[in-house]
A and B are shown apart, each in its own frame.
Chain A
Amino acid sequence: MYETSTAHVTPSQTVGPFFAHALPYDQDWELVSETHPGAIEIRGRVLDGAGEPLPDALLELWTGTSGPRGALRRKGVGTSGFGRCATTPEGFYHFRTVRPDGAYMALLVFARGLLRPVLTRIYLRDEPDPLLDMLEPARKATLIARERSENVYEFDVHLQGEKETVFLGA
């Protein structure tokens, strides 16, 4: 047996810029199909401290429950709890999902220049919540998606700068 402890944890390293031939997969951003009742879209950009978009970020969305659609090899029906999306050259990402059972979805962001991923939450509305309640208004606002039209939400990730997103240490 292995003798291990937290002292032996494997360190994190950046995902680098060239993950695109390995990590993205077919329908990775589609946690539900286009025709799924109650489908919502979450879209936005990932930006650095100078406000420049990241063309080489990878986002992972987790809604908390797996669902029958499969995490990696999509089956047609139902929902998946997991999705992945690489940013476009302009820094855009999008997911099609359903509203989470709880108040929020978890989002991990990997990129060149991030030696560890950043973990955050996407809330669809401002409501009493143990995490939101501990943040000052400007910081809290970084975790709440803006409703752009019915079932379309916008959520930008600012890695740094005035609008820096709240990141969690969990």
Chain B
Amino acid sequence: MNIHPPYLSPAYRSTILRAPAHPLVMPKLGPDAIELTGPVFGHEEVAPLDHDLTRQHAGEPIGERIIVTGRVVDSGGRPVAGTLVEVWQANAAGRYAHKGDQHPAPLDPNFTGAGRCMTDHEGRYRFVTIKPGAYPWRNHHNAWRPAHIHFSVFGTAFTQRLVTQMYFPGDPLFPFDPIFQSIPDDAARQRLVSRFDLDLTEPEWALGYQFDIVLGRTPMEA
């Protein structure tokens, strides 16, 4: 099942010299295999406001305030509680607070674009942030990344570790983005598109998006 993208996906140019050429080696993972365990994160490791990217500076960030929430579950549907979820993203103008980002869009002094939280007993996480903008990235002529939020999720085993990207519904850039299109299976690709949710939306304050994450055994296997 082609759920995860292949390492070599030439339309995404950076994969050409970075994709391993040898097939992955599948060792027998016995009970002592450390890959089947993973770090445990205590609640004291995340500060109470780390999940609110709009309150990390003195002023209000510019842009469309959004609530992003969902559940982290395993492939058996069981909630993954107490796992660390980290996010990072560009600001509303499509620029990262990173010195390497040369896109001449404005930096927002009130938005860094990084957050952390732990899932609760139902596997639920919640962030308050600003909708990121699209940005150009020079992969090919007229290359623009669809708006996205990067997610990092630990799961319960080192082999469950997942880094992915959440997209927004109806983005016109999807067909032209080699990173989104690197996922061969269309149904799998669509699972990276969050769902607008009016019930989650708060009047006069923020739009709500649902994004659930299902962890497999390992993102390494194809």
A24 to B47, CA, bound (A): 16
Given known A1-B77, A119-B35, A169-B218, contact A22–B100 (CB-CB < 8 A): no
Known: A66-B39, A131-B25. A18 touches B17 (CB 8 A): no
- Shortest B23–chain A CB gap in Å is 8
Chain B facing A: main interface SS: loop
Of the listed stretches A34-42, A91-99, A144-152, A159-167, chain B binds: A159-167
A60 to B154, CA, bound (A): 11
State the A residues within 8 Å of B (CB): 1-23, 48-50, 52, 54, 56, 60, 62-66, 70-73, 80-82, 100, 102, 104-106, 108, 110-119, 130-131, 134-135, 139, 159-160, 164-170
Given A11-B219, A70-B42, A71-B41; 13 other pairs, CB 8 A cutoff:
A4-B77, A6-B75, A21-B113, A23-B152, A62-B158, A111-B18, A114-B19, A116-B5, A117-B161, A118-B220, A168-B24, A168-B25, A169-B222
28 contacts between A and B (CB under 8 A): A4-B74, A10-B212, A10-B216, A11-B192, A12-B164, A12-B219, A18-B96, A18-B101, A21-B88, A21-B97, A21-B98, A60-B161, A62-B35, A62-B37, A64-B34, A71-B39, A72-B41, A82-B39, A106-B35, A112-B14, A113-B15, A113-B16, A118-B220, A119-B158, A119-B218, A130-B28, A159-B20, A170-B218
